[in-house]
Chains A and B, each alone.
Chain A
Amino acid sequence: MNTKDMVMAALFAAVIAVLGLIPPIPISFIPVPITAQTLGIMLAGSFLGRKVGTLSVLVFLVLVALGTPLLSGGRGGLSVFMGPSVGYLISWPIAAFAIGYLTEKFWDNMKLWKLIIVNFVGGVLLINIIGAPVMAIMTDTSIWASITGAIVFLPGDSIKAVVAAMIAVQLKAVSPIKKKTPILTQNMQYSN
């Protein structure tokens, strides 16, 4: 790991933390407001790639565990990891890895619609598929009940997946993810 990867992951962890401070947007017909924090998780994967993205989410979660109130709503501390929603927290680095992996795979001819699908699969489906059953196990309730409960998150999360994809596509030029076809060979083609 070079210094730039390390610093990039650290700064992005700070960005995820700061996104949690943006006031949540209430939706009239759903009891769950939209927070920008999971947007940060999706961006970590689709902007930094699998390795640095996962690392930045891990740094963020360790800081939360050490007691800094960085989760949206000012929550924090190791006690969050003892509560029923621990599955959602654990799913974040996994989601960042999945999104990063798929993004790197499609990187060379990335389109907006591909990135939307990637963010939806990794950032919405995966998070709920891990988070809801863990909640069911922690409270010893039925898994189907908690998955049905997770459906209320779906509309807000889907919009976030679209927004994350729109941002990541616009920032593609400055993203630290490397192209598969090395720049050197491209330059040689020009010189020929």
Chain B
Amino acid sequence: MIENVLIGQFIDASSIFHRLDPRSKLISLFCIIIAFLLIDNISGYILASLLVVGCITLSQIPLRFFLKGLKPILIILAFTVFYHILFTKGENLLFQYSILSIYKESIIEGFSIVLRIFLLVLITSLLTLTTKPLDLAHGFEILCKPLKRLRFPVEQFSLMLAITLRFIPTIVMELDKIIEAQKARGVNFEDKSFVKKVLSYIPIIIPLLFTSIQRAENLANAIDARAYGDGSGRTRYKVLHFENRDYQVIGISLLVVGVFFLLRMVGG
């Protein structure tokens, strides 16, 4: 569990994506998401699919890790396809039986929506599969620096992310302890009726919140006592550097946006 939270979905390999700066990955991903949202014709979908397949191959990460992200949304996507096949109207009638009529356009419509969601989910998985959460948080913090002008507390927010990551394992242990303690006091968590099961959250969550408040007070005092301030001007062990490959990748991503914009204008 502890390793799980710190590593996130990160899979170690030595691909170009693993070596890129997290900032350039975030910027390029943003560009590519915009590019995919511009797609409105078959050639766009083919090009986007090729791009995604190419990126997945380059990442050297086994395909099953990418498919894991698709699994939870499969039911909704299947429903979407059926919905469009049954209810969307078109011009080219393919099949008719009493009130049921299926059009060519409706099948294309259903599958293209699902394909677009598939492509977006796969390309965004690439980011979190090749970057550790803390590196990503660091890159995110630097990219958000301009928001400080709007008085958004960027450094404080990044400190909060670090505190949360650090305390999840501690609170998991706390939760286990509370469940054991309540069982020793005779609280029955094995009750059959589901209303009683939901009510059994109460003797777990109340002590959990109590201890969290005490912990927060101690931690806040410790931070203040060390005169940490709001985290601005903090130095880091790991410093991010842009290299040639970072500029190249951002350049390629901008090019991709341009290509997809042209494809939409021309129509194909």
Q: Taking beta carbons and an 8 Å cutoff, which residues of A are in contact with B?
A: 1-4, 6-15, 17-19, 21-22, 25-28, 34, 36, 39, 43, 47, 55, 59-60, 62-63, 66-70, 73, 75-85, 135, 138-142, 145, 156, 159-160, 163, 166-167, 170-171, 174, 176
Contacts and interface: CB of A to CB of B under 8 A. Distances in A.
B128 A141 contact: no
Sorted nearest first, the 7 A-B pairs with minimum C-beta distance are A67-B128, A67-B8, A10-B163, A82-B120, A139-B80, A77-B128, A10-B160
A15 B76 contact: no
Interface of B: 4-5, 8-10, 29, 33, 69, 72-73, 76-77, 79-80, 83-84, 87, 109, 113, 117, 120-122, 124-125, 127-129, 131-133, 136-137, 140, 153, 156-157, 159-161, 163-165, 167-168, 170-172, 175, 194-195, 197-199, 201-202, 204-206, 208-210, 212-213, 215-217, 219-220, 223-224, 228
Contacts of A4: 216-217, 220
B8 A82 contact: no
A160 B10 contact: no
A167 B206 contact: yes
By secondary structure, the B interface counts as helix
A25 B193 CA distance: 10
B114 to A, nearest CB: 8
A18 B168 contact: yes
A135 B76 CA distance: 9
A77 B9 contact: yes
Nearest to A141: B83
Contacts of A8: 213, 216, 220
B124 A11 contact: no
A60 B165 CA distance: 10
A145 to B, nearest CB: 7
B72 A75 contact: yes
Contacts of A145: 83
B205 A39 contact: yes
B145 to A, nearest CB: 16
21 contacts: A1-B156, A2-B220, A4-B220, A6-B220, A15-B208, A15-B212, A19-B205, A25-B197, A26-B194, A36-B201, A43-B205, A55-B160, A60-B164, A63-B161, A67-B136, A76-B9, A78-B128, A83-B121, A139-B83, A141-B87, A145-B83
A27 B215 CA distance: 35
Contacts of A166: 202
Given A14-B168, A160-B198, A68 B5 contact: yes
Contacts of A82: 33, 117, 120-121, 124
A117 B235 CA distance: 47
Contact of A63 (B125, B133, B170, B228): B133
B224 A3 contact: yes
Nearest to A73: B72
B212 A76 contact: no
A7 B219 contact: yes
A123 B218 CA distance: 30
Nearest to B192: A28
B198 A163 contact: yes
Contacts of A69: 4-5, 8-9
A77 B124 contact: yes
Contacts of A81: 124
